[in-house]
Amino acid sequence: MIGPGRSRRVPGSLFLLALAVSLGPQARAASPPSTPGRVSGSLSAAGLSFTLAWSTPTSRVDGSSLALADIREYRIIRRLGLTGATNQLFLQSPSTANVFTDNTVSGGLYYYRVRATDQSGQDSPDSDIFASDASNSVIILADDQLSHIKIPGADLESLAARGLSLRGTRETSEETSRVLKSVNFRVEDAFTGESVKGFVADRPVELSIGYSVDGDGRVSHGAPAGASDRPLSSAARQALSLYWHNGSDWIKVGSTVNEEQRVARITARLAGRFQLRLVDQPLEAQLNAVYPRTVTPNGDGVNDLVFFLFENPTGAPASGTIYDLRSAKVADVQNRDIFGGDTVLAWDGRDGSGNPVAGGLYLYKISVGDRSFTGSIAVAR
């Protein structure tokens, strides 16, 4: 019995239980809507308007269901560049068709994204970026929000029909004072998320690695480096280059640096790991890689070709020849567009008449202008 002026202490656990009962069940805040699906874009024939279409998201980011009544509006964001301030924001009710036309393009280049907003004001993740250019390009940003893949819309639709998707992931563990940024551009199975090995695109796509400039006007990103190690932004074109990993080695493949957009880009038919590095650019032609040194041209898509990757800063004529060990000519090597430009030659293990050559050692001679590079490779049958 509790006497006058006394109170009974309630154990903390009982107090919390009583509080929970008094408040009743609490509604869990819903997660944002998923990104609108099947987004596509097309520029009118006269280049005066640009149309976007998409499908209604039916789920939220956490996988829970999303009804049409849960969507308040769609937001179409237009920018003058891939990043930066919004140039124009268009709102569209979900009660209308999922099609939007911007009639104010008038030949300009704009970048569009679509997002869904629910009744509580939560925005979905942005869709991929669609450019108002002649190829109706789609830009897929990597997770650093600077690097990206640019691919014609029709080619992306073809990949999607095959159950494939594209993704770019920054690999910060690979970045050093000389490696400003490392990005893995992957082709994935859209259902499992697993990378597709050995993928070769039907046509080259544009890969770009972006960089930033610090307050001193020097290129930044990547592991810390001394100020003297990092070039001024105005000198980026002479100081930066892209490298690609062929599965065993890093190979310099060159790039085009856009100092205004702050990206180094290359067109490529191969996916994989790419790095933006500080380099000393050559003044004359040089052979950067010969791979694989042993080819197995049996048509299985693995090591069917030997590639000769070189740099050609003066744009001199390039050619190559394969010889047997008696120095008799076997075949000419051919230009290959696995990377943009005319800096990749390849041989398919066949003679000049298109017949497979016998297994064994062969000699190569690659000529770029007045410079020649020689060596040996092996054919295994």
pLDDT tens profile 167-226: 999 999 999 888 999 999 999 998 898 999 888 898 899 999 999 888 888 887 655 554
- Closest Cα partner for 301 from 353, 364, 354, 348? 348
Residue with tokens 């970045």, as numbered in its chain: 175
Give the per-residue pLDDT at 221.
62
Give the per-residue pLDDT at 250.
95
Residue with tokens 């190829």, as numbered in its chain: 135
More confident residue, 260 or 18: 260
pLDDT tens profile 308-317: 999 998 889 9
Q: Does the pLDDT of residue 281 top 60, yes or no? A: yes
- The residues with which 308 forms a beta bridge, in sequence order, are 290, 345
Does 292 sit behind a cis peptide bond, omega within 30 degrees of 0 on the bond before it?
Answer: yes
Per mean pLDDT, which range of 90-99, 113-122, 217-226 is the poorest?
A: 217-226
Q: Does the pLDDT of residue 351 top 90, yes or no? A: yes
Please tell me whether the overall predicted TM-score, pTM, comes out greater than 0.75 for this model: yes
Give the per-residue pLDDT at 28.
57
* Residue-range domains of the chain with CATH: 37-134 (2.60.40.10), 148-278 (no CATH), 286-379 (2.60.40.10)
pLDDT tens profile 251-277: 999 899 988 889 999 999 999 999 999
Give the per-residue pLDDT at 224.
52
- What is the phi/psi pair of residue 133, to 5°? -115, 175
Whole-angstrom CA distances from 48 to 41, 53, 298, 345 are 14, 17, 50, 41
pLDDT tens profile 63-82: 999 999 999 999 999 999 88
Q: Does the pLDDT of residue 227 top 50, yes or no? A: no
Q: pLDDT tier at 18 (50, 70, 90 boundaries)? A: very low
93 DSSP assignment: -
Put residue 299 in one of left, alpha, beta given phi > 0 → left and psi -120 to 50 → alpha: left
Give the per-residue pLDDT at 337.
84
Do residues 312 and 371 make contact, with C-beta atoms less than 8 angstroms apart?
A: no
Give the per-residue pLDDT at 138.
94
